[in-house]
Amino acid sequence: MGFPETRPRRLRRTAALRRLVTETSLEPRQLVLPMFVREGASEHTPISSMPGVVQHTRDSLRRAAVEAAELGLGGVMLFGIPTTKDARGSGGVDPGGILNVAIADVVGEVGDAIAVMGDLCLDEFTNHGHCGVLGEDGSVDNDATLAVYAEMAQAQAAAGVHVVGPSGMMDGQVGAIRTGLDAGGHQDVAILAYSAKYASAFYGPFREAVDSSLQGDRRTYQQDPGNGVEGVREALLDLSEGADIVMVKPALAYLDVLRAVRESVDVPVAAYNVSGEYAMVEAAAARGWINREAAILESLVSIRRAGADIVLTYWAAEAAQLLRSS
């Protein structure tokens, strides 16, 4: 006796049936919106390589944070652009520095309605553009940088941040930051570790967004794009040092690493849909080569399907609006 004919398409016949059996969902609460704020700005400035993204003023940042909360986003990740930089990245630890006052602004505006996150790295604040302080030989001094990171974490915590995001890829950074936070009485501040952060070509537009001073590259501390197992090892190391969330960056070119990390840890996993990934879709859509809105949602669903619980994306607010209307 033969079996009845199997037809998987039966469950694709109507929109209701497709919704019923969808394996991966995308919800606003899973999305985090990265935002840039420029010190001393009187009006927001468009970023040419990232259409629709701007360098905010403090006032426009507040308004965007309120909108993000009203849309039900999971969080906002803040990046500061200072007017002056130095070799140590002093603006990152200064309580009056742009990132720290922006954190206080946003927390004062939205309270606990949305998770307020601060990028914890020195690249925006150093005149050489590297993610740490430099030694006499011109290389990044890992251990000296850890001391600055601990200071920076305490400055952000004092400003009211809910989550710090160490992104510099220094060895031991999560442990140093956790120790510093706890010693300063900030045990409740969480750490979203940029655990598997690759030396990627997809960061180009971000460098414009933060007015990067970098000459050269960061291959001595960011990961080699050819290494997947190393990404898992980095995530496990960060977890052992006290990370609350681990992250893979970039997202779309590293979905295999994202899946491997998801299968190896028991904490939430984030992925950063980076500036170059954003810019490629925007550029293709502007030329009429792809359906922009469909490509946005498909990209984000693919990151979720690979294992991300949280997605940092410049499309977060728009995606939330698209999901509401779908």
The answer to whether the Cα torsion of 48, 49, 50, 54 is positive or negative is negative
* DSSP H or E stretch at residue 265: none
Catalytic residue among 85, 178, 197, 262: 197
Contact status, residue 220 vs residue 209, Cβ threshold 8 Å = no
Q: 299 vs 135, 282, 325, CA distance in Å?
A: 40, 12, 18
Cβ contacts of residue 110 below 8 Å, gap of 6+? 65, 66, 68, 69, 116
Listed residue (259, 241, 249) closest to 222, CA to CA? 249
- What's 138's DSSP letter? S
- DSSP E strands: which ranges in 167-253? 190-197, 245-249
First to last CA, the chain: 44
Q: What is the dihedral of CA 90, 91, 95, 98, to 10 degrees?
A: 180
Active-site residue flag, 249: yes
Catalytic residue among 249, 257, 260, 317: 249
What is the rounded CA–CA span in Å between residue 284 and residue 282? 6
Burial class (CB in 10 A: 0-12, 13-18, 19+), 3: exposed
Catalytic positions, please? 197, 249
